[in-house]
Structure formats: structure tokens, C-alpha cells
Amino acid sequence: MNCLKGKGKQIGALLLALVFALTLRPVSADAKEKQPANSITNQMLGSGSFEYGGRIYYGYDDTIWSVKKDGTGKKAVFVMANAKGYNGFSRVAVYEGYVYAIFDFYGGSDACNLQLVRVRTDGSGYENFGNAQNFALADGRIYYTKAQMRTDGEGYSYMDTLGIYVMNTDGTGSAALIDNPLCQLLAADENGLYYWFVNPKSYLRGLYRCDLDGTDSKELWTGTGSVSIKGSCLYYTEDGYRTKKNGKSEWRTEIYRKNMKTGAVKELYSCKGSITNLCVEGKYIYFSGYEKGLVRVSLTGKKAKTLNKHTGAGIRGIHGNVILFDQQRMDMKNGTDIDIILADLSTGKKIKKLGAFFVS
């Protein structure tokens, strides 16, 4: 009996030591924090930024950068070798320790040469997966608009889309999902794909949704404006010349909400000029316009608030309580520069300028 008690004490001590050792064992960053997925909203904006491990990743010119959400700890993740003069990085996403991005290997504004690349988050292991107009990570795979470079009869090169494809995250196993060159991927998550079908006769874009295997495709909307999705509601813009009461006309843009279950449509907001970005996050609609700058308005279309007065403040992404956007700055000698701004989402107040690049 005493022997059993002694062994019980020994076993209890060993279990206690094991528990203590486990508490001292370092926990990986992935285990500490559930990685937020790139929302459909941010993907529809163009995936100009991505949140991963408490940091925001973004790219411009020849460099992929990351920064903490409070604006500190900015660092270069990867610099594309011999890329000076190229159009640089755009769409980015991070998955299982790799940064995926679109890089434009073209050096002018009259064409593009977009290719999907990836590197580890420490900047090592660069790989190029070939021409891709855009991409999205979902369900452990890469969905993308496959493209290839062609040359016309006069010797000019151009990028031609082939359809929507899927492949493994290591770049292997590429296969056609929607074998139609008129279809272009917009966004994807575990619930399905959103894509454009461009009508060759009317030039209008049809927004469609299908399952991840390419089946059960449904048309959601047709138009030329910006779109954003929140739950079962589709938000979109329509613009054109509107006649005022005095008989004069002006260019205006309206924001509409469509219930995708019932088909009901309601106009929420109207403003002078054009809207270049549209996204819905939380209780608000955010958009940027040439006349208004960066604006926030409630989901009912009320209480509009200007967060940034600069025109052309294009939104890259919203990440919790912060927003990343591009702000135009005119240089009378050289043309237009773009400042990349990290700001407080509720007020629009700048936290930090993260970089700048020249566009014209």
C-alpha cells in the first residue's frame, strides 16, 4: 500500500513537471493567433494588402513590405532582383509562411506582363508560377486567371487571358476550372468563386458566383461599376450624366444595394463625380471618389463623412481598425506621385506614410 502511494506521488510529480514543461514550450505565431483570411471585400478591391500574423503585407515598385498595424516595424520582405523600371508588385496574399503576389515585368503603361510569384515570409525561396492576371487563395489551393503573352502581326506583345484555373499552392497541378477566356477571377473563399464574364457584344461585365469546383454558376449582377459583397447583399455603383431640376446635367454616381436572395434593389447614396473604389466593412460603406476623396457612409446611405480630402484616394484594404489607401500627390515638375497611407479606420487620421511611388 505504501509502495502504491509512493508510486502515485512519483507519477503525480512527473505529470506536474510535464505540464510545466509544456507551458514553457514556445508557441508558434500561427498557434498564438488565428490568421485572418483576406476578406471578399479586400479581394474585390484588388488585394492590395493582406493581414497575416499581426502584420500587413503590401507591395509597390520592386519590393514587398510588411508593417505592424500600429505603423511600426516596417521592413522589406523581398526585393525583386534587376527589376528597376518594371511596373512592380500589386496583388498580395499570405498562406502558410509564403507571400504570393502579382508582379508586372513590363516597363511601360501601354501593356503588361503579369506573373504570379511567391517567396517565404523571410524573403527566401523565390519562385515564379508564370503568367496570371490575378489570383485568390481558398481551400488550400490557388485560383487564378491564367494568361499568356502573345505577339500580334506588327510585333507588339500583349497579354491574353485563357480562363480561370486552379493549382496547388506550390505551383503544381494546374488545371482549367472555367475554360473560357472571357471569364476573369475576382475573388474566392471557402464558399465559392466570384468572377466576371465580359460580354463581347455589349462590353458589360456580368458578376457570377460558382462553387469551388466551377459548378452551380449563377449571375448576380451586370454593369460597369464597382462592387462589394457583405453577407447576402451586393453593393454596386452606377454612374452617368443626370439632369438636374434646372435642366443642366452633371456626372453623378449612385450606390445601390441588392439583396441576392430576394432580388430587391435600393438606392443608398448619390454623389457628384465618379467612385473608384467601393467596399463594405462592419457598419459602413467606404468609397473613394474624384470629387469627394475617401468617404465613409452608413449601410443605410446616411451620415456621410469624409475621412481624407485628397482626390484619388484608392483603397488597398481594410484590416480591423486600420485602412491602407493610396493618396495622389501632384508634383508640378514630374507629374503624379502616390503616397501609401496607413490610417485609423474610424477617423481617417494618418498613422504613418508607408511609402511613395511615381505613376506619371
At the fourth CATH level, which superfamily is domain 34-176?
TolB, C-terminal domain (2.120.10.30)
Residue 125's pLDDT band (boundaries 50, 70, 90)? very high
Over residues 154-211, the pLDDT tens digits come to 878 888 999 999 999 999 999 999 999 999 999 999 999 999 999 888 888 999 999 9
Kindly list the domain boundaries of the chain, sorted by start residue.
34-176
Is residue 131 within 8 Å of 148, Cβ to Cβ? yes
Q: CB within 8 A of 318, min separation 6: which ones?
A: 39, 41, 42, 279, 281, 286, 324, 345
Is residue 330 within 8 Å of 340, Cβ to Cβ? no
Over residues 238-280, the pLDDT tens digits come to 999 999 888 899 999 999 999 999 999 999 999 999 998 999 9
Task: For residue 63, give Cα distances in angstroms to 99, 120, 323.
Answer: 12, 14, 20
Q: Is the pLDDT of residue 18 over 80?
A: no
Over residues 40-60, the pLDDT tens digits come to 999 999 999 999 999 999 999
